[in-house]
Amino acid sequence: MTMTVPAHPSEPDMNGFRHQFYPYRGEAQFLTGTLGFIREALEAEEAVVVAVPSDRASLLRDELADEPAVTFVDTTVSPSPGRLIAAWTAWMSERGEGDRPVRGIGETAWRQARNAAHLSEMRYHEWLLNRAFAQSPAWSMLCPYDAADGDQDALQSLSRCHPLIRQEHRYVRNEQYLTAEEYPFEALADPCDPYQELSYTNGDLAAIRSKVSQCASDAGVPDDRLPKLAVAVTEIATNSIRHGGGRGTLRTWVQDSTFLSEFRDAGYISDVMAGRTRPDANQIGGRGLWLAHQLCDLVEIRSTPDQGTTVRLHMDVPQ
């Protein structure tokens, strides 16, 4: 059973981050839910940040007539899910002048997912938002999702990443929400044949860079992207050697128009937010995963105490 929660943001029992899932069908329902959310914010003198696909943004712009409290941001600047938490942090900080509360509307372009790995990381990002902003000042995020395609499995799995569900201009607690101990990481698919493999240890960074650069070039990764990949590979391999027992295994292959370089070692990354928040200017270390997220098209991380760590770097290959 779901318990009805007061919708007004000033209710004292709803302090903190309110992450709401809004399944809709078609443009009319999209506008009904998002405009209602925006009007609540305007009545409460809150700012609103809107990050939705361009066709949905056009619908809202037509209805809002350049409302100054509503800011539209370009989601194409952060196509990798691993960059979005830092992007939201910056967007909300820019609009939250003083102590002014801010609301966000974030609809991921699910149908533009490049492959199954990208789709999986997009879902994981939605769940991680709850961890990222758990201790932040009170604000609300509405996550619209077009359920018209009838994929009930996708709808349910995404719903479970949100503690609240928006219904008829109010939200209810989601009894199916996954806690920190319950999130089911999707197993990484096996590398496609043929793949190349190289064991590495201290002193092998040059060999790793050379191997990945040559394989990436052969796979069709553009020349101007090879230096970015080399930096990401250096950072991940260095972390692997330093924190993964001094040795690891590199694999490279091509799959779904993507070049992948995978690093496996015996280390363990306990912080699920590693690499997703911008490092402090005075921070020592901790920049390797952050740089990988900024330089690659997708980064997958799987890490457990008993099985060690796998990091996969994705670089798109032009068709």
Distance (Å, whole) CA 98 – CA 177: 32
How do residues 154-167 score in pLDDT, each as one tens digit?
888 889 999 999 98
How do residues 32-86 score in pLDDT, each as one tens digit?
999 999 999 999 999 999 999 889 999 999 999 889 999 999 877 667 899 999 9
Strands 308-316 and 298-304, sheet pairing: antiparallel
User: What residue spans in the chain does CATH classification 3.40.50.300 cover?
Assistant: 4-173
How do residues 219-245 score in pLDDT, each as one tens digit?
999 999 999 999 999 999 999 999 999
User: What residue spans in the chain does CATH classification 3.30.565.10 cover?
Assistant: 196-316
Average pLDDT estimate for 17-31:
93
What is the pLDDT of the chain when averaged over all its residues? 87
pLDDT value for 281: 74
How many Å separate Cα 79 from the centre of its chain? Answer: 9
**Phi then psi dihedrals of residue 221, to 5 deg:** -65, 130
Distance (Å, whole) CA 115 – CA 120: 9
pTM: 0.88
pLDDT value for 42: 93
How do residues 93-102 score in pLDDT, each as one tens digit?
888 766 778 8
Name the fold adopted by 196-316. Answer: Heat Shock Protein 90 (3.30.565)
Whole-number percent of the chain with pLDDT over 70: 91
Sheet of 298-304, strand order: 196-201, 247-255, 258-265, 308-316, 298-304
Distance (Å, whole) CA 160 – CA 89: 23
In CATH terms, 4-173 corresponds, of 3.40.50.150, 3.40.50.10190, 3.40.50.10490, 3.40.50.300, to 3.40.50.300
- The answer to whether 31 touches 60, Cβ cutoff 8 Å, is yes
Phi-psi sector, 286: left (phi>0), alpha (psi -120 to 50), beta: left
**Phi then psi dihedrals of residue 4, to 5 deg:** -70, 135
Q: Of the ranges 9-13, 45-49, 165-169, 275-279, which one carries the lowest mean pLDDT score?
A: 9-13
